[in-house]
Amino acid sequence: MMSLIRVRSLLVAGLVAGCLTLSGNANATDCHTPKYIVKTVTVYVDVEQSYTAHVTRYDHCGTPYQVRVTRHKTVSVPVVKQVRVYL
């Protein structure tokens, strides 16, 4: 029984030989010419950010007291991405 690696290598060798036979006078550079370019773009992503705030609350007698609470706000953050632009 042949090992899996040997079967794969024989399969790849057969595919390469078939491609070379069908391609005729093709260069190696003709096979791998990129059909796109990579551009860097800036995208803004909304992120929820937490912060603490001091709030005045009142007890049942009406006496004020300070409480620290956690609140959330949405902030737009710039993110640099690379995208493919097809030619």
pTM for this entry = 0.44
Over residues 64-75, the mean pLDDT reads 96
CA dist 2 and 18 (Å) reads 22
Distances (CA, A) of 17 to 13, 23, 28: 6, 10, 14
Average pLDDT in the 68-76 region?
A: 96
Write down the domain spans for the chain: 1-33, 34-87
What does the pLDDT look like over 12-67, one tens digit per residue? 666 666 655 555 555 555 667 778 999 999 999 999 999 999 999 999 999 999 99
Per-residue pLDDT at 1 exceeds 50: no
